[in-house]
Structure 1
Amino acid sequence: MDIYKLITLNQPYATFPQALYKILSEGHPWIEWNKDGTKIRYNDPDRLMRELQALGFKAQDSASLSKNFNDYGFKRLSDARKSRYDPWRSNWTVFAHQNFLREHPESANGIQRRRSRRPRSQSKKSSPCSDDSSW
């Protein structure tokens, strides 16, 4: 069974975009839509990870959070991690996706995980020393 299916098995929000849309719809002050509903921003990645964990996702650190955004094709428009420590959480990280829109919640259902697979070589590269006939 695919490990990514195991992570989201038996949870009401089967994909990261669906869970993210649910969190946004709850109206938290630390995550919000922009005025036209085409971008999202958050200033508390730890809180976002806790909310995702409560929905059954295994987000453990900022790297896994970024990986989810990247795997689903979100584009990072700004990054609060590159700024100095901000105890007042005034720096925001902004993401956008062409199909993740406030006015069209059903479009989040169509966003699929992008998985790039590295091509595996079918045969080993031979070298002068790797000739089996010498054994």
Structure 2
Amino acid sequence: MIYMLLRGMVIGSEAMQIEADAGKNIGDPLLSSSLFLATFFFFAYFWRRIGQTLGMQVWRIRIQNPDGFKVNWSQCLLRFFGAAVSAVCLGLGYLWVLWDKEKLSWHDRFSLSRVVYVPAPPSEKKKKK
């Protein structure tokens, strides 16, 4: 959004409308790069900080190293690209957990990380009873 606002200020909204009508902004490399970086940093920030994105918190799963510590930036990058490869291969990398002895996906293996379940806090266990 910031990129589009800045671009509109530079070339004008009329020029942007003409480009949009002609379909020229579909392959904009700067926009594509910005979206890629924003997506990567969203996931990497949460994986590095607490091991979970917002959705992962709901599902009570977390990303961590095999020794239980938080993943580092290089692991986040490998995991991000590995997940893209898993998806491009028609989801086979995600489905791999069904056949893997350790229940690891391709991006788990690429990044040397694990998805683990987070137990419910004691206060929530009491509410269910």
Instruction: Give the TM-score of the pair, scaled to structure 1.
Output: 0.25
Q: Which has the higher contact order (CA 8 A, sep 6+)?
A: 1
Instruction: Give the TM-score of the pair, scaled to structure 2.
Output: 0.26
Q: Which has the higher helix share?
A: 2
